[in-house]
């Protein structure tokens, strides 16, 4: 392992059945979907103990991100080496064919509601596809209290207390921990803290066909984690910084991660010296040059640029759109 020089790493997607999922991720990723199941999530970079991502090609094929964090921390993480026990972000594509449960995630400070060795969960979405019934619920309506929310739960009218909007392709939305939220009839890219802590407030009274039962709710824990000041969240207005070769937009800025969208058809730079960055291709394809080698990068793929790679040229094959994600502490 010590003899291997780190290179841009691509990973196998991990498909997850979800009651609210569909089949639309089959047109986004090259790996075939499992037959018949409704697939709600593709975990494209995960350092979770139960679902660690595996490198898909090159000398390190089959190694997990967890193993690389342990065996090659400095070339992988650079200036961030030693700051994280595991890779600090979890990246996904979601196919929300139906509306997800109304849910909330705890903040890092609410340790009472976070399992050991886990964290809170702030997340962000970039909308890739929308259907006729596309909707994003983000935040409560102003004036909603615990009392009015519990009354709405008892009357099965929770949606009346939720702020919502109809999303458009390209929208980016920051869902800070403590924000009540859900979404439906959309395909999105999601970046989040490396956490799987979700408390369901309401699940639209539906039955899981696989179990014949409703899914569990965690109403009291969910309400305890709600920040009632998080109301009527809207899409972020991107900060645009373009030059002659690339149209660059900062979509998300948060202490846990930053997200840029790069669109262009001429070569441009990605990554940063001595710092790891994550790239996600959401349209087109191209070649990333690192240490005089070229690595094809196509729609639906994720690529982790190790710190050892530094800043690299990306050469599009036609017009391409890449998301570039910075880690906390970058």
Give, for all 330 residues of the chain, the pLDDT tens digit: 557 789 999 999 999 999 999 999 999 998 999 998 899 999 999 999 999 999 999 999 999 999 999 999 999 999 999 999 999 999 999 999 999 999 999 999 999 999 988 999 999 999 999 999 999 999 999 999 999 999 999 999 999 999 999 999 999 999 999 999 999 999 999 999 999 999 999 999 999 888 899 999 999 999 999 999 999 999 999 999 887 789 999 999 999 999 999 999 999 999 999 999 999 999 999 999 999 999 999 999 999 999 999 999 999 999 999 999 999 998
Chain centroid to Cα 28, Å, comes to: 15
Per the CATH hierarchy, to which homologous superfamily does domain 239-326 belong?
Jelly Rolls (2.60.120.10)
pLDDT at 270: 97
pLDDT at 1: 55
Assigned CATH topology for domain 9-225: Jelly Rolls (2.60.120)
User: For residue range 43-72, what is the model confidence (pLDDT) as tens digits?
Assistant: 999 999 999 999 999 999 999 999 999 999
* CA–CA gap between residue 219 and residue 215 (Å, rounded): 12
Domains 9-225 and 239-326 in one fold: yes
Annotated active-site residue 200? The verdict is yes
pLDDT at 2: 58
pTM of structure: 0.96
Q: How do beta strands 89-96 and 181-193 pair?
A: antiparallel
**Which of these is catalytic: 18, 48, 200, 277?**
200
Domain segments of the chain: what residues?
9-225, 239-326
Dihedral pair phi/psi, residue 148, rounded to 5°? -65, -35
Q: Give the position of tokens 């639309």.
A: 24
3-state secondary structure labels for all residues of 253-297: EECCEEEEEEEECCCEEECECCECEEEEEEECEEEEEECCEEEEE
* CA–CA gap between residue 281 and residue 190 (Å, rounded): 13
């Amino acid at each position: 392992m010590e003899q291997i020089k780190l290179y841009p790493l691509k990973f196998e997607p991990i498909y997850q059945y979800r009651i609210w999922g569909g089949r639309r991720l089959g047109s986004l990723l090259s790996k075939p979907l499992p037959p018949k199941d409704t697939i709600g999530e593709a975990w494209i970079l995960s350092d979770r103990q139960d679902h660690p991502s595996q490198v898909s090609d090159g000398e390190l094929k089959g190694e997990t991100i967890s193993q690389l964090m342990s065996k090659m921390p400095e070339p992988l993480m650079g200036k961030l080496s030693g700051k994280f026990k595991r890779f600090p972000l979890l990246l996904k594509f979601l196919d929300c064919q139906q509306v997800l449960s109304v849910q909330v995630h705890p903040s890092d400070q609410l340790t009472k509601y976070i399992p050991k060795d886990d964290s809170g969960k702030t997340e962000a979405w970039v909308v890739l596809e929308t259907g006729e019934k596309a909707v994003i619920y983000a935040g409560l309506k102003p004036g909603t209290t615990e009392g009015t929310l519990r009354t709405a739960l008892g009357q099965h009218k929770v949606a009346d207390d939720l702020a919502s909007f109809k999303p458009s392709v390209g929208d980016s939305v920051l869902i800070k921990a403590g924000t009540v939220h859900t979404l439906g009839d959309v395909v999105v890219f999601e970046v989040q803290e490396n956490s799987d802590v979700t408390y369901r407030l309401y699940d639209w009274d539906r039955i899981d066909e696989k179990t014949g039962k409703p899914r569990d709710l965690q109403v009291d824990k969910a309400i305890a984690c709600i920040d009632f000041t998080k109301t009527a969240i809207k899409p972020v207005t991107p900060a645009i910084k373009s030059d002659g070769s690339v149209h660059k937009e900062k979509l998300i800025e948060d202490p846990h991660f930053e997200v840029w969208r790069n669109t262009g058809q001429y070569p441009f730079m990605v990554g940063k010296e001595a710092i790891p960055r994550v790239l996600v291709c959401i349209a087109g394809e191209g070649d990333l040059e690192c240490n005089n080698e070229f690595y094809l990068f196509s729609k639906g793929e994720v690529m982790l640029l190790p710190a050892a790679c530094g800043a690299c040229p990306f050469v599009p094959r036609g017009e391409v759109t890449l998301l570039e994600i910075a880690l906390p502490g970058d």
